[in-house]
């Protein structure tokens, strides 16, 4: 009897011994990422797997949503404390800080981070002198061109101004090479604001002056006039008014466009023979400028990773953010998104095979123009998206459309 009790007790002890690791259950983090552009889902999963291997006590549940759902998912989840780590656009820190959605991690940023990350990248995560995460996706839109089509058209160099772009597109069209040589992402979405901002930067425009809308005149009006002229000229693919960036990529890599404005990620995908009909023919340069006003144009399309104020595991969440944004991780996955670290651009492992992209990036990333910093960005963006659509569809003149947008911006 005593022996059987001993065995039973021993079994309990051993069972307890085996259960101890599970009793201290691994920390579980929920992280929200984007299902388009920049790093692929496979890249993010591989980065995360490396993190969990190095940190076996932490499990990370990944969720991917289209860019269009990223903001609302983050905001709505605050009530339930759904996410520990979220990807956020450069346009959201003002709103997120004001509404206490992200943790101020300024004190966690090391000297190594401060010195190593490109200065312009920090603007992605900052508001009112504080940092609300680490920059992760450093990006701007570039002008992509089909080298073979330009060569057939007798064009020896890509355009350096937006007017030259229209002129070259006309040559391509007149020679019967393509019916609509230019493709844009002008759907009623943030994508159109990114293209519009690129043009605003070229024309030296301003979004806000003393906190009030200023885009309805000057460079802001010039930018929309250019878009409308390009659309009505027949040089622009008419479906551009419904396209997002992935649509632009598909049209370009099918050989159906001579010119396209898009993010970094398109370069290597469009050069992949498994993905693209134009592999080896893809040219890339900074977006053009405007004679007498700018040499190139660029907008800040960067994104950061932050820890939510509702996270029950902020230390582990920050550890995950540090891993995902580390130089080692970013250098390993530098084909669809370029690193935030300055010295990476001199690293042969990063630059090999994408020298043209790196050359364009060095210029474009240094000239990134911001979309307006305001807690009311969502209202402003929605009003501008509507104005662009109305002007493109000839429902209002560019002047009237922008005037209405200014009145509806909430500013």
pLDDT digits (tens, 9 = 90+) for 279-290: 999 999 999 999
**Beta carbons of 152 and 177 less than 8 angstroms apart:** yes
In CATH terms, the fold of domain 27-139+301-367 is: D-Maltodextrin-Binding Protein; domain 2 (3.40.190)
Q: Which CATH architecture has domain 142-299+376-407?
A: 3-Layer(aba) Sandwich (3.40)
pLDDT score for 150: 98
pLDDT of residue 25: 59
> What pLDDT sits at residue 5?
37
| pLDDT for the residue 350 | 94
Which runs of consecutive H residues, i.e. helices, occur in 61-101? 67-77, 93-98
Three-state secondary structure of 287-345:
EEEECCCEEEECECCCEEEEEECCCCCHHHHHHHHHHHCCHHHHHHCCCCCECCEHHHH
How far does CA 364 lie from the centroid of its chain? 14
pLDDT in tens, 332-386: 999 989 999 999 999 999 999 999 999 999 999 989 999 998 999 999 999 999 9
Residues paired with 131 in a beta bridge: 126
Q: For the chain, which residues make up each domain, given as ranges?
A: 27-139+301-367, 142-299+376-407
- What tokens were used for 309? 């104020």
Q: Do domains 27-139+301-367 and 142-299+376-407 have the same CATH topology?
A: yes
Q: Cα angle at 369 between 215 and 192, to 5 degrees? A: 60
Write the DSSP string, 33-68: EESSSSS-HHHHHHHHHHHHHH-TTEEEEEEEE-HH
**pTM for the full predicted model:** 0.87
What whole-number distance in Å separates Cα of residue 117 and Cα of residue 110? 11
Predicted local confidence at residue 286, as pLDDT: 98
211: burial class by Cβ within 10 Å (0-12, 13-18, 19+)?
A: exposed
Model pLDDT, residue 119: 87
Specify the pLDDT at position 26: 85
From CA 103, how far away is CA 97, in angstroms rounded? 8
| Ranges in the chain, pLDDT < 70 | 1-25
């Amino acid at each position: 009897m005593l022996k059987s009790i001993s065995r039973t007790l021993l079994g309990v002890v051993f069972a307890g011994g085996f259960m101890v690791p599970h009793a201290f259950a691994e920390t579980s983090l929920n992280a929200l990422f984007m299902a388009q552009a920049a790093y692929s889902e496979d890249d993010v999963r591989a980065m995360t797997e490396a993190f969990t291997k190095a940190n076996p006590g932490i499990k990370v549940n990944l969720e991917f949503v289209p860019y269009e759902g990223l903001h609302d998912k983050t905001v709505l989840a605050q009530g339930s404390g759904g996410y520990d780590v979220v990807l956020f656009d450069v346009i959201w820190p003002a709103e997120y800080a004001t509404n206490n959605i992200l943790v101020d991690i300024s004190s966690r940023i090391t000297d190594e981070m401060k010195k190593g990350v490109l200065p312009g990248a920090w603007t992605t995560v900052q508001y009112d002198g504080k940092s609300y995460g680490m920059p992760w996706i450093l990006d701007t839109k570039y002008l992509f061109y089909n080298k073979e089509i330009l060569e057939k058209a007798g064009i020896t160099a890509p355009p350096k101004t937006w007017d030259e772009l229209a002129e070259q597109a006309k040559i391509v069209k007149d020679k019967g090479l393509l019916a609509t040589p230019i493709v844009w992402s002008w759907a009623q979405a943030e994508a159109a604001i990114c293209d519009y901002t690129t043009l605003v930067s070229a024309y030296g425009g301003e979004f806000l002056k003393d906190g009030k809308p200023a885009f309805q005149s000057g460079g802001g009006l010039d930018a929309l006039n250019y878009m409308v002229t390009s659309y009505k000229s027949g040089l622009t693919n008419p479906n551009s008014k419904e396209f997002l960036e992935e649509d632009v990529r598909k049209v370009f890599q099918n050989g159906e466009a001579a010119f396209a404005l898009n993010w970094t990620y398109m370069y290597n995908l469009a050069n992949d023979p498994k993905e693209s009909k134009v592999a080896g023919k893809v040219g890339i340069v900074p977006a053009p400028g405007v004679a007498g006003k700018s040499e190139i144009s660029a907008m800040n399309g960067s994104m950061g990773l932050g820890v939510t104020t509702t996270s029950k595991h902020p230390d582990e969440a920050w550890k995950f953010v540090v891993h995902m944004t580390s130089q080692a991780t970013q250098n390993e996955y530098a084909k669809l998104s370029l690193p935030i670290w300055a010295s990476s651009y001199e690293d042969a492992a990063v630059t090999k095979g994408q020298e043209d992209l790196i050359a364009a990036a060095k210029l474009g990333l240094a000239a990134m123009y911001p979309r307006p910093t305001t807690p009311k960005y969502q209202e402003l963006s929605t009003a501008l998206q509507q104005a662009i659509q109305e002007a493109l569809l000839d429902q209002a003149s560019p002047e009237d459309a922008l005037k209405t947008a200014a009145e509806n911006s909430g500013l």
